[in-house]
């Protein structure tokens, strides 16, 4: 395997420290969280206490002011490598996807109110874009926010919301002017202390069992004007700007999950005997492992290059879309091949490969479906 030059010695020390934290605080609890359909609030507080949430936020709001995104990437990768997909989605979404909206576009009042508690883990964050009738088609959302002078009156619903059931606040995409299409879209921070904000029960999903995903409902919710992110009508532009980082986070988790699934499968093939010898000595097994190792190495090089560009603020939307599309497809392929090499045991939930297979499927759907990624890539090719 190629040496990863994307990280220096400080990054590697951080990775080792976080890996120890995951081994102690995440892996032993993951099975229980899967049964509960959510991680514990205690875990969020432990992540916060250890300084692993929203590390990039300025010290003014109790953050660590770590602007090097490679540290954030390490958290996504290590959680995915550990085979704990629910936490690998929930924590990075909170820190790397929701937090930047408040950090970059929030009023001083909103930053002061929410960021310190997001950093400590006292407040769990979600992002609410998808609606029952609008998935990847964000221009056609129907949730409305009517200007009432001192506040917006919000009505509508959102679905498939990651961190939804536990969330204390959500960045919500709404229409402040439905007649203007995308240009009538705005973003609001809505918290659970606002009357009329309710939640559905966590969905019983195919995978990501430790991730609380549910519907959110807004019925005449009065949202203060200070909770508007940026300018009214600029929400769609903000979403398009921030989605590149979201797609990179998904891509990094995908290739790390593929690496982790391959690693447990390699060990399994050495331990499992058939026809009087380890199945790792069978030619089909060896060729399959060789194919996966090669493709994962190719994917890792591309992922690291995208991470390097993002750390330099040079990652373009098309490259982020390529990474999200290709690496999530690779993750699914690897999970399926590895499950096959496990035989019947691969279909048993207690084996990591079974969970990896189930957890991988949604990666091709959220953060923009892979079909949407291809469309965005094609636009860049044909421009």
Q: Which residues are catalytic?
A: 246
* Helix-helix angle 317-342:235-271, to 10 degrees: 30
- The residue assigned the tokens 């990666």 is 363
Look up residue 78 and give its two tokens.
Answer: 């290590």
Look up residue 317 and give its two tokens.
Answer: 């939307």
221 vs 188: CA distance, rounded Å: 11
H runs (alpha helix) in the chain: 9-25, 30-36, 41-49, 69-81, 85-92, 99-105, 108-120, 235-271, 283-311, 317-342, 352-360, 370-382
> CB neighbours (10 Å) of residue 274?
12
277 vs 47: CA distance, rounded Å: 44
Supply angle C-alpha 289, 306, 72, rounded to 5: 90
> CB neighbours (10 Å) of residue 291?
13
Task: Enter the DSSP assignment of 202.
Answer: P
Closest CA to 129 of 188, 178, 181: 188
DSSP 83-135: T-HHHHHHHHIIIIIIHHHHHHH--HHHHHHHHHHHHHTSS-EEEE--BTTBS
116 vs 126: CA distance, rounded Å: 16
Burial 43-81 (b: 16+ CB within 10 A, else e): bbebbbeeebbbbbbeeebebbeeeebbbbbbbbbbbbb
């Amino acid at each position: 395997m190629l040496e990863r030059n994307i990280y220096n010695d400080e990054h590697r020390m951080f990775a080792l420290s976080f890996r120890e934290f995951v081994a102690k605080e995440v892996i032993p609890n993951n099975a229980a969280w899967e049964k509960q359909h959510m991680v514990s609030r205690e875990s969020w507080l432990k992540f916060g206490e250890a300084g692993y949430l929203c590390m990039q936020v300025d010290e003014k709001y109790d953050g660590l002011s770590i602007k090097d995104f490679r540290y954030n990437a390490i958290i996504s990768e290590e959680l995915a490598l550990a085979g704990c997909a629910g936490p690998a989605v929930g924590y990075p979404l909170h820190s790397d996807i929701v937090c930047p909206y408040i950090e970059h576009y929030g009023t001083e009042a909103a930053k002061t109110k929410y960021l310190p508690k997001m950093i400590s883990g006292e407040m769990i964050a979600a992002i609410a874009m998808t609606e029952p009738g609008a998935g990847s088609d964000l221009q056609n959302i129907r949730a409305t926010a009517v200007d009432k002078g001192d506040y917006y009156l919000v009505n509508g619903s959102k679905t498939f919301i990651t961190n939804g059931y536990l969330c204390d606040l959500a960045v919500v995409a709404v229409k402040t002017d439905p007649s203007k299409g995308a240009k009538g879209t705005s973003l609001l921070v809505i918290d659970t202390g606002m009357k009329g904000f309710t939640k559905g029960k966590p969905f019983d999903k195919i995978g990501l069992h430790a991730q609380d995903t549910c519907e959110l409902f807004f019925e005449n919710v009065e949202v203060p004007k200070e909770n508007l992110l940026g300018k009214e009508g600029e929400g769609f532009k903000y979403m398009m700007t921030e989605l590149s980082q979201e797609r990179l986070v998904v891509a990094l988790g995908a290739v790390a999950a593929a690496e982790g699934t391959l690693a447990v499968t390699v060990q399994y093939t050495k331990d499992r005997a058939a026809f009087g010898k380890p199945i790792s000595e069978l030619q089909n097994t060896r060729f399959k492992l060789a194919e996966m190792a090669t493709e994962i190495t190719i994917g890792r090089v591309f992922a690291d290059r995208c991470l390097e560009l993002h750390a330099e603020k040079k990652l373009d939307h098309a490259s982020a879309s390529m990474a999200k599309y290709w690496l999530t497809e690779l993750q699914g392929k690897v999970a399926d091949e590895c499950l096959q090499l496990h035989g019947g045991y691969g279909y048993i939930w207690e084996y990591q490969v079974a969970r990896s297979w189930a957890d991988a499927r949604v990666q091709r759907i959220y953060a923009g479906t892979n079909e949407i990624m291809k469309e965005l890539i094609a636009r860049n090719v044909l421009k």
